[in-house]
Structure 1
Amino acid sequence: MPDPLSQSATGDGTRARIDTTKPHSARFWNYFVGGKDHYEVDREVGDRIKGIFPGLVDVAVDSRLFLGRAVRHLAAAEGVRQFLDIGTGLPTADNTHEVAQRVAPDARIVYVDNDPIVLAHANALLTSSPEGRTAYLDADLHDPDTVLEDAADTLDLSRPVALIILNTLGHVADYEEAREVVRRLMAGLPSGSFLLLCDGTATSEGMVAAAEAYKASGAIPYHVREVAEIAGFFEGLELLEPGVVRVTEWRPEYGVADRASAAVDAYGGLGRKA
């Protein structure tokens, strides 16, 4: 099979830093949501984990649907015109900027990742409506101050921003460290800003087994958390209805409402900073 990344790799040594001998979270997730940017090692682990727990595919797909619904709500109902998407992963269909700019063509979006795979696809993310703007930052979630400083080149941090962190904080092993990252990021955003967040949860034996199998594959581990821990990320924020719920239960729209009863092992919510 041809190298799916060969046409988009940069000339600055990025491709040389891509390790194709171990599964990679962005490529693994891309495989699960039907993308094309993955290697044999990612597909092998993906198929193995699907055999252990097929429900992980639902987590991937339904998390993307949750992102779309929430971004549309933020742009249409809350009037948000600025989005900071951290841990964006590989581009697929209905990326944050595409959803937001369909509603508000003047929306500005900054994607943040520090992964060479995603960096190789930066050009795919750096598209925008003529009225808006889309930018990509090669930065680290663990360095919130730098993320905010660099994002300010594109976003006006004196005006509300929607901070988006989807299926990313599970890669931060220490829960308190993950909470501190969120607190520091939100502290740098003004009143009226939002936190849109979801992560995989330890709400079934299958999901826990899938996380263990992924860890055993040699990939960077992903730590599934309790629902109460996901809710803890929203401490100090005003949770919008229906609160922290399964991603399928967050304001399901016509056409996907039949998924709302699915026991998907991913919880999330949307909170507003006072």
Structure 2
Amino acid sequence: MAERLSWVPDEVDTGLPSAARLYDYLLGGGHNFAADRELAEKFLLAQPNARTIARLNRAFLRRAVLHLVDAGVRQFLDLGSGIPTVGNVHEIAHRAAPGSRVVYVDYEDVAVAHSRMLLAEDDRSTILQEDMTDPDAVLAGVRATGLIDFAEPIGVLAVGVFHFVPPDRDPAGVVAAYRDAVPPGSFLALSQFTSDLQPEEMSGVVAVMRDSANPMYPRTHAEISALFEGLDLVEPGVVPLPLWRPEEGALEEDSERAGIFAGVGRKA
């Protein structure tokens, strides 16, 4: 029998797993269902380091947001933001720079419903229910919120989401649309799964996710680097997650096991 909780929208099929809720489970969150946990366990069999990778990806998000704050960015567009758990963009940005504004974007019903509850009394943050691969709709919605000033630098975040964008949706074109919409001084922070680091495990993950609502499309280092076309890569470039500006004193993870490349680019 499918689970039904008070915070779950009526239209959500809790028996159909989603990548957002799988990620929530891997991070230790509580907004996932039996079907998500079942899929996650298969994911873990294919990639035993999945929980570590999820944690490293979340840590990259934090470091990237703080880097952008240090660079003077005070407004953020988080694409494919997922289910809010501790350490979300608005929490990081508001703590580092009070007054920062954040617009989240996701199309998954539970992610959107829970985000709306979390942000109900936050007049500096909101969420749009849109597909990030439709930049025109997303950007129109962002402008309508009144939170983002397109005359000032914007931090565009696409952390752990582009491996769900199939080649026929033109991922490079999607990124380019956001890049072209933001002013000079804006940044793109992006991370995505690759087969370059752990090809056998990644092949298993692709097989596990193939028949889910969110198939995965790992990309090579060259393909991920190409998503930053038209931007100046911030040092150290596109690297395994734990190697992107690690915090002083952080334990050095095995970069070959990171599973994901990450990078940040600046629009000149």
TM-score, scaled relative to structure 2: 0.92
Q: Trace 1:71-220 onto structure 2 (pairs within 5 A).
A: 71-75=65-69, 77-126=70-119, 133-152=124-143, 153-174=146-167, 177-203=170-196, 204=198, 205-216=200-211, 218-220=212-214
Task: Give, in whole Å, the separation in 2 of the partners of 1:64 and 1:175.
Answer: 28
**3-state SS, counterpart of residue 16 of structure 1:** coil
CA shift at 1:227, angstroms? Answer: 1.3
**Contact 2:75-2:153 at 8 Å conserved across structures:** yes
Please state how far the C-alpha of 1:260 moved relative to its aligned partner. Answer: 5.8
Q: Does 1:24 align with 2:23?
A: no
Does the 8 Å contact 1:66/1:250 carry over to 2? yes
* Distance in 2 between residues matched to 1:252 and 1:122, nearest whole Å: 29
TM superposition shift of 1:176: 6.8
Name the structure 2 match of 1:12. none
Q: In 2, are the aligned partners of 1:125 and 1:134 still within 8 Å (CA)?
A: no
State the 1:220 CA deviation.
Answer: 2.0
Change (3 A) 1:90 1:112: same
Q: Alpha carbon RMSD of aligned pairs, Å?
A: 2.0
51-60 or 188-197, larger mean C-alpha shift: 51-60
1:41 aligns with 2:35: yes
Q: Structure 2 CA distance, aligned partners of 1:2 and 1:41? A: 9
Given that residues 91 and 124 in structure 1 are in contact (C-alpha distance below 8 angstroms), is that contact kept between their aligned partners in structure 2? no
2:176 is aligned with what amino acid? R
For residues 104-133 of structure 1, give each alpha carbon's deviation from its aligned partner in whole angstroms, at most 9, with x where no partner exists. 01100000112211122123441677xx71
Displacement over 4 Å in runs of 4+: none
Q: Deviations over 1:139-177 (max 9, x none)?
A: 121221221122122100110000001111111111670
Please name the residue that 2:265 is paired with.
271
Change in 2 beyond 3 A, CA 1:124/1:260: farther
Q: Does the CA contact (< 8 Å) of 1:97 and 1:128 recur in 2?
A: no
Render the CA deviation track for 1:206-244: whole Å, top value 9, x for unaligned.
12211211214x332011111111111101100000000
Identity of aligned residues (%): 37
Partner deviation per Cα, 1:27-51 (whole Å, 9 max, x = no partner)? 1110001101111111111112212
Structure 1 pair 176–149 and aligned structure 2 pair: CA distance change class (3 A):
closer
1:56-67 to structure 2, matched below 5 A, reads 56-67=50-61
Q: Counterpart amino acid of 2:148? A: L
Asked if the contact 2:105/2:127 (under 8 Å) is kept, the reply is yes
| 1:230 aligns to 2:219 (yes or no) | no
TM-score (norm 1): 0.90
Q: When the two structures are aligned, how many residues end up with a matched partner?
A: 264
Structure 1 gaps, min length 5: 10-14
Contact 1:248 1:262 in 2 (8 A): no
Distance in 1 separating the partners of 2:255 and 2:127: 36
- Structure 1 CA distance, aligned partners of 2:209 and 2:5? 26
Equivalent-residue separation in structure 1 for 2:265 and 2:29 (angstroms): 30
1:68 to 56, 62, 69: 62
- 1:19 is matched by which residue type in structure 2? D
On the 8 A contact 1:115/1:138 being kept in 2, the answer is yes
**CA distance in structure 1 between the aligned counterparts of 2:59 and 2:183, rounded to whole angstroms:** 27
CA shift for structure 1 position 259 = 2.2
